[in-house]
Amino acid sequence: MVTKKPLFFWVFHRYRGLQLLLLVVIGVTVFFRVIPLELQKRIINRAISLKKMDLLFMYCGFYLGAVVLAGGLKYLINVLQGYLGEKLLYEIRSELYQHVLRLPLPLFRRTPPGMVITSLTSELNGVGDFLGSAIAVPVINVLTLLTFAGYLMYLNPLLALLSFAIYPLEIAMIPMLQNRLNRLNQERIDVARSLSNTIGEAVAGVREIQAHGGYPIERKKFEGFIATVFSLRQRMNIINYGIKFSNNFFQNLGPFILFLLGGYLAMTGRFDLGALVAFLSAYEKLYDPWKELMNYYQDFQDSRIRYKRVMDYFDAEPEYPLAPTDREPYKLRGRIEVKDLDYVAEGQVQLLGGISLHLEPGEQLALVGFSGSGKSTLALVLGQLYSYDKGHVLLDDKELKTLTKMDTSRNIGFVTQQPFIFDGTIRENLLYACTSLLATGGPGEKESLPDREQILHLVREVGLEEDILRFGLNAVVAEDRQESLAPLLIKLRERFQRQWRSDAADMVEFFDVTRFLYHRTIYGNIIFGDPEREEHELDNLPKNPVFLKLLTDTGLYEPLLDLGRKLLEQSVMLSKDLGQDLVLMEDIPIAPDQFEHYRELVRRMYGEQLNQLTGRDNELVLRLALQFIPAEHDIVALPVPLEEKILEVRHKFIEEIGGKDLLQCQFGEEGDIPAEIKAKTDKGETVDFSIYCPSQYLYTKSVLDNILFGRVQRDQPGATEKMQQLVVKLLEEEKLLDEVLDIGLDFQVGSKGDRLSGGQKQKVAIVRALLKKAPILILDEATASLDNTSQARIQHMLETDLKGKCTVVAVVHRLDTVAAYDRIAVLKAGRIVEMGQYDQLMAAKSIFYGLRQASAATLDAAG
């Protein structure tokens, strides 16, 4: 188990060949580090004193070669150390992460996510750095230390012994300080974990904090931890600097002895000058490996503490082995038998007692009862997510406790009341279980994932089709699919224009080059398309010299600045009169990431004339005008002359970037091009912008916008739904509905599925479990967030598609849906108090009867 492995296990049992290569390089490096010392002595004593130029050049050449070679080898050592450290850190994290994911669920109930994150990331960073140098640093520095020490003894034994006399003092002092530093570091790690947990909890619960104004409470928590961290860091700094002071003191004490005694010996003729210079150089270099060894000792202590802290926290045995070692994973039929099952939670609280039940393959059981009766706990035990204490749970006569996680994951589908949706696409979430089975599959397992037809069949069955279709219609088609879909969507566009253009005119603003577009920005009206280069995006245009020249030459620059000034003036007036912040004013064309810039500009405006603004301020004002949408930002009215001016500039713009070919595309073949534009000369094809052309696919627009060749007017109630219905009808007639649904499957759901509603998450989770086609399906209030229609659809699917094919255990909260189950188990206080078929339990007029009557009364009151 990974948590039992000592720190140096990773050093001596991984990458031995690379470690051996490192040792060889170290040995060669040490040899070339000592050569320059001897060459110094020879340069002074032989070349300089004897005035031999040939010897001077030769020794200096050897000296330079040795220095360069030693430096190059040192660089190679550092690269190898870094590689080893990163590889070992990669393996530690990988093995530890797999271990953590397999730990019992109760451990995660008492372990904050922030602690797990910091343990696997920041706390192990230093460990990786240490492991990379765990062999190289001590070996190279000990060898260097011994080599230099031997050379010093060779030069002068007396001076060498006196120089070495100070090291025992340092050896005694540094560990004492280091032990104190270790204790403080342990405290710091624990406090840092708590701080991470507090931050993680606050971020996760930010809605509750904002809803209840819990800012002072959270600030007090946070400041308490950072105050403790501050105190610990200060004390650690004092000791750290004390260690550095000691190192520096002893480092400079040695040269003092050498200058005093070595100078005396040189002056009395008992020590030549070249040897003294070499001795001083060797002594200075002697301290480098010593210092590195001291640093190595500190890194080792720090890494040992970090490593032990992390491994100790997760030092728990997984309850079940990951995979069988001597057989293939079982393929079960779905028979479930529970005998005298007890489950005791942490704290010795018994949640289940004496549970017994039996299900044949394909039968369906509903678990009902009062809140806290143990329904969900029983479902979790049957899914091997909780480990039971007494009794037996048999799947096809095999004890659940003896099955591996691979056995249960292949044979049990599980859907919780609040399913987790992973960051990624809907498709990736739907195929999550199947992908996992495929990744761990042995002989006989399927070699492919469910195809599109299978996925979409279940999507329709659970009522997720409409949501995914909406995602697909509003998505931009991926580049790898555009070539095949573009001609088909253009064909749909032509049909839509022929059949419904006149009927949709009040709901869709079509892309018409001769008309001003009130549901597009001023910028979009000018370019009548979309930019394809970053420098032409709206945020960058106010400082784009080419675009500014176009505005200036056409006389549009000053009118747009005037519009921006009016927008800003009205923003100031509204914020002052209504007491609103700019952030809250939706009828102002200011994006969220621009608020701070405009706040600052508004502050500078007070007491100044807007027409006196220059430079960066004018860029902000111009951008405000360019992102103004007349139909949505009714804070000011757009003057008619300005609309006409913008249309003139649009034609000028299109002509300059696209010429006659593009104008022909816009205005048609015969007689539609205005005379002043028809006379323009061709300027070549566009590469900077994609202009809206009726006969071309709009690569930057959604599927819906491409078919409509326009944009639905948001201010028209029901317009979006009506247009989507018309488009869906076309897609069905052209047999393209599945293609758009397939595009919708690639919708990015966001972190934890935040872009999906609660009902959408549950539907995704249900499809995810059904695609696995496991013989056992456990539903823990899996439809709690769904509306009545969606619940009825899924219940119908259970009663038809899965009846007799899959053993179902469902925790049910709506008792009007349980009549079709083969058995109903009523739980109270962790025990089954009634079990039977629906008609039997109703006829008995006992506990279930009372629950059913109460449920019916609640539904009648709600309806």
Is residue 419 a contact partner of residue 762, using CB atoms and an 8 Å limit?
A: yes
Q: What is the pLDDT of residues 573-599, one digit of tens each?
A: 665 544 445 544 566 777 666 666 676
Q: What is the pLDDT of residues 622-636, one digit of tens each?
A: 888 998 998 888 778
Give mean pLDDT, residues 313-336: 86
Is residue 798 a contact partner of residue 813, using CB atoms and an 8 Å limit?
A: no
pLDDT at 660: 46
pLDDT at 172: 67
Which one has a higher pLDDT value, 501 or 143?
501
Residue 433 has pLDDT above 50, yes or no: yes
Point out the least confidently predicted range of 134-143, 357-366, 417-426, 694-703. Answer: 134-143
Question: CA 312 to CA 310: how far, in whole Å?
Answer: 6
Q: What is the pLDDT of residues 626-678, one digit of tens each?
A: 989 988 887 788 888 899 999 988 888 887 765 444 555 554 544 444 443 34
Look over the chain and give the mean of its residue pLDDT values, rounded to a whole number.
Answer: 80
Residue 507 has pLDDT above 50, yes or no: yes
* CA dihedral sign of residues 475, 478, 483, 485: negative
Q: Per mean pLDDT, which of 228-232, 551-555, 575-579 is the most reliable?
A: 551-555
pLDDT at 686: 38
Question: CA 376 to CA 386: how far, in whole Å?
Answer: 11
Q: What is the pLDDT of residues 147-202, one digit of tens each?
A: 777 776 776 676 667 666 666 666 666 667 767 777 777 777 778 777 777 777 77
Task: Categorize the per-residue pLDDT at 443 as very low, low, confident or very high, splitting at 50, 70 and 90.
Answer: very low
Point out the least confidently predicted range of 218-222, 246-250, 681-685, 794-798. Answer: 681-685
3-class state of residue 823 by DSSP = strand
Question: CA 795 to CA 783: how far, in whole Å?
Answer: 9
DSSP state of 638: P
Residue 681 has pLDDT above 50, yes or no: no
Residue 302 has pLDDT above 70, yes or no: yes
Amino acid at residue number 247: N
Q: Per mean pLDDT, which of 436-450, 529-543, 635-649 is the most reliable?
A: 635-649
Residue 248 has pLDDT above 70, yes or no: no
pLDDT at 196: 73
Q: Per mean pLDDT, which of 18-27, 59-68, 833-842 is the most reliable?
A: 833-842
Is residue 660 a contact partner of residue 682, using CB atoms and an 8 Å limit?
A: yes
Give mean pLDDT, residues 561-577: 74
Task: Categorize the per-residue pLDDT at 287 as very low, low, confident or very high, splitting at 50, 70 and 90.
Answer: low
Starting at the edge strand that comes first in sequence, how are the strands of the sheet with 349-359 ordered? 349-359, 336-345, 390-395, 398-399
pLDDT at 95: 85
Q: What is the pLDDT of residues 110-119, one digit of tens each?
A: 676 767 777 7
Residue 747 has pLDDT above 90, yes or no: yes
Task: Categorize the per-residue pLDDT at 49 as very low, low, confident or very high, splitting at 50, 70 and 90.
Answer: confident
Point out the least confidently predicted range of 289-303, 352-366, 404-418, 431-445. Answer: 431-445
Q: Which residues pair with 811 in a beta bridge?
A: 367, 780
Number of Cβ within 10 Å of residue 118's Cβ equals: 21
pLDDT at 673: 41
Q: How far is CA 281 from CA 141, 273, 277, 285, 402, in A?
A: 17, 12, 6, 6, 69
Which one has a higher pLDDT value, 615 or 419?
419
